[in-house]
Amino acid sequence: GAVVSQHPSRVICKSGTSVKIECRSLDFQATTMFWYRQFPKQSLMLMATSNEGSKATYEQGVEKDKFLINHASLTLSTLTVTSAHPEDSSFYICSAQRGQGAQETQYFGPGTRLLVL
């Protein structure tokens, strides 16, 4: 199978600090990765599409200066929540896309729970 890891799994930080979350595809290369946010008892909300070697594409309503995405290699994408505030507390999940065109499939990481105090 395809394995995607995230680090850290949980993080607690103070308001105003920045937090970096890593997403790695362990056994395949991923040109495209995705970042999602999930609130309790709700579905996943796509935040942005991370493209290796180019700028991320953000969904409407997601602040690109607040949620910085870097996809520097084919196996690593990072999401940095800058100047975090309590309302940024959430479960952040990444996925890595494997395959091309009609056969592409997303494999998800285990998620990172962020709590901002």
Nearest residue to 25 (alpha-carbon basis) of 81, 98, 91: 98
Return the SS3 of 88.
helix
Does 28 participate in binding other proteins (rule CB under 8 A)?
no
CB of 81 to other proteins, least distance (A): 18
CB of 14 to other proteins, least distance (A): 23
Ranges within 39-98 binding other proteins (CB under 8 A): 42-44, 46, 49, 93, 95
The pairs formed by 60-64 with CB atoms below 8 angstroms and a separation of 24 or more are none
Which residues of this protein are in contact with other proteins, per CB under 8 A? 4, 6, 32, 34, 42-44, 46, 49, 93, 95, 102, 104-111, 113
